[in-house]
Amino acid sequence: MAIQPKIGIRTSPYIHKAPTVAEIMRNVVYALLPLAAYAVYQFGISALVLMIVTVLSCITTEHIFCKLSDKKTTITDASAIITGLLLAMTLPPGFPLWMSAVAGFSAIAMGKTLFGGIGFNVFNPALVGRAFVQAAFPVSITTWTPALAVDRFVQFIPSSLALPFMKPVETAEWTTQVAIDGFSGATPLALMKFQQIFTDSYDLFIGFSTGSTGETSSLLILICGAYLVFKKMLDWRIPAAVILGTVIAAECFYLLDATKYPSPAFMVFSGGLMFAAVFMASDMVASPVTPVSIFIFGLLVGFLTVIIRLFGGLTEAVMYAILFGNAATPLIESYTQPHIYGRNK
C-alpha cells in the first residue's frame, strides 16, 4: 500500500460524548444568575457586593491551596464560583463583608481542599462555610434587613461595611428608617418559632419576605432548577425527595396540632428549604448516586429539617440537615447498591 498512515492505538470506546465538568459547573452558575439578579433587585448593592466578595474569596482560596499543594489550579472548572454564589445566597444580605470573606475561605479550605479538592469533598463546601460563620458570628448571621429598601441601589446596608474584627453597626435603627410598615426584622421562620406567627405561603412562594440573599423566591428557584434538570445537570429526584420528606414530616405535626405547628406549605416555602433542596442537597459530589439512596437521602434531609426547625434552637435548620445527610451518604450508599441484571433480588 502506497500510503503509510500514522496509526493511533488505544482501547475502546473510541467515542465519548458528555458535557465536561467545567460545562456542568458553568451551567449551574448560569442557573444561579437569575437568583443573583433577583437578590440584587431585592437587597441592592449590599447583596451584589456580598456575592462578589464570597466568589472572589472562594476562587482565591482554591487557587492558593492548589499552588501550595503543587497541583494544577482547578479554578477554571468554575466549581469555586458555584460555592461562592451558593454561600452568598445563604447569608443575610447585610452580612459584614469581611465575615463573608472568612466564610468563603472556610468553605473552600475546610469544606473542599482539605478533602482533596473537587470530587473528594464529603460535605457541600458552601454549607461548611456557612456553618463556620454561623458558629463564629451568631449575631450577624441572624440579623436580617428588609427587602426593597428605598435606597438599596445607592446605599449599603450599614452592617455590610463593618471593619474586620469590629462589632458590626446596629441595623435596627436603619431598618426602622427604610422599612415598610410592620417590618419586624425577623424572618418568617423566626416569626413562626418565637412568635407563632405564620407568614402567608403565597408571599413566601413569590419571594416578598425577609430572608437570606438568594432564598426568598421559591418560584424563581424552581424555574432555575428546572433549567438544570432540562440540561440533565441536576438530578430532580434529590429536590423532589427533600420536599417530599419535608411535607410528610410537617404534615404529621400539622395533623397533630394545627395551631402549634405550621402547615407543610409553609415549611416548604419558608427559609432556605427550596433553595437548599434544589441547589444544596443536590451537590453532586456530596450526595448519593444509587437510585434508592437518593430517595433515602432526600427524605432524611427533609425530615431532619422539620425536626430541627420545630424542636432545635435554630431556625435555619436545612443547613444542618443537609450536612447530616452528606455525612450519612456513604453509609446509605453501602446498603443500597442497585439490583444487578441477572442476579436475584
Partner 1 sequence: MNLFNLLGKKTFPKGIHPEGFKEETHDHQARRLPFAHQITLPLSQNIGKPAIPIVHVGQQVQRGEVIAKADGFMSVPLHASVSGSIKKIDLVPNARGNKEQAIIINTALSSAQTHIIGNSNDFTSMSRKDLIQAVQNTGMVGLGGASFPTHVKMHIPDDCDIHTILINGCECEPFLTTDHRIMLEQIEFLMRGIHIAMKAVNAPKAIIGVEDNKLNVLEAIQPHLPADGSISIEAVVTKYPQGAEKMLVYSLLGMEIPSGKLPSSIGVAIFNVATLAAIGELLPHSQGLIERIVTITGDDLNKPGNYRVPLGTPLSHILEYAEFTGNEAELILGGPMMGMPVGFLDTPVKKGTGAVLVLNKRATKHDDILPCIKCAQCLQACPINLNPSELGMLATKRKYDVMEEHYHLNDCFECGCCSYVCPSNIPLVQYFRIAKTLNHERHIMETN
Footprint (CB under 8 A) of partner 1, residues 205-224:
none
Q: Are 32 and 26 in contact (CB under 8 A)?
A: no
Task: Output 45 or 322, the one with its CB closest to partner 1.
Answer: 322
Residue type, 100: S
Three-class DSSP category at 185: coil
Task: Output 112 or 152, the one with its CB closest to partner 1.
Answer: 112
The residue within the footprint of partner 1, chosen from 28, 34, 95, 119 (CB under 8 A), is 119
Footprint (CB under 8 A) of partner 1, residues 5-24:
5-21, 23-24
Residue type, 196: Q
All three cell numbers of 60, joined, read 482565591
d(CA 235, CA 245): 16
Sole window of 38-46, 137-145, 159-167, 289-297 interacting with partner 1 (rule: CB under 8 A): 289-297
> First and final CA of the chain: distance in angstroms?
56
Task: Output 45 or 81, the one with its CB closest to partner 1.
Answer: 81
Q: How far is the CB of 56 from partner 1 (least distance, A)?
A: 23
Q: How far is the CB of 342 from partner 1 (least distance, A)?
A: 4
Contacts of residue 246, Cβ cutoff 8 Å, sequence gap at least 6: 264, 267, 268, 273, 277, 302, 303, 305, 306
Per-residue binding string, partner 1, 223-252, x by CB under 8 A, is ------------x-----------------
Per-residue binding string, partner 1, 266-285, x by CB under 8 A, is ------------------xx
Q: Is 178 exposed, middle or buried (0-12, 13-18, 19+ CB in 10 A)?
A: middle
Rg, the chain, Cα only: 22
Per-residue binding string, partner 1, 299-338, x by CB under 8 A, is ----------------------------------x---xx
Task: Output 2 or 166, the one with its CB closest to partner 1.
Answer: 2
Q: Of 80, 78, 82, which Cα lies nearest the Cα of 109?
A: 80
The residue within the footprint of partner 1, chosen from 57, 287, 315, 326 (CB under 8 A), is 287
Q: How far is the CB of 10 from partner 1 (least distance, A)?
A: 6
Report helix angle 97-111 to 79-90, nearest 10.
Answer: 130
**117 forms part of the interface with partner 1 (CB under 8 A):** yes
Q: How far is the CB of 304 from partner 1 (least distance, A)?
A: 21
Could you please report the per-residue DSSP string of 222-273? HHHHHHHHHTT-S-THHHHHHHHHHHHHHHHHHHH-TTTS--HHHHHHSTTH
Contacts with partner 1 by CB under 8 A: the residue count is 44
Residue type, 340: I
Task: Output 26 or 152, the one with its CB closest to partner 1.
Answer: 26
**62 forms part of the interface with partner 1 (CB under 8 A):** no
The residue within the footprint of partner 1, chosen from 54, 58, 62, 77 (CB under 8 A), is 77
**2 forms part of the interface with partner 1 (CB under 8 A):** yes
CA dihedral 115, 117, 121, 125 (to 10 degrees): 110
Q: In degrees, to the nearest 5, what angle opens at C-alpha 95 toward C-alphas 53 and 140?
A: 145
d(CA 272, CA 217): 10
**70 forms part of the interface with partner 1 (CB under 8 A):** no
The residue within the footprint of partner 1, chosen from 184, 208, 290, 292 (CB under 8 A), is 290
Where along the sequence are the contacts to partner 1 (CB under 8 A)? 1-21, 23-24, 77, 116-120, 235, 284-285, 287, 289-291, 333, 337-343
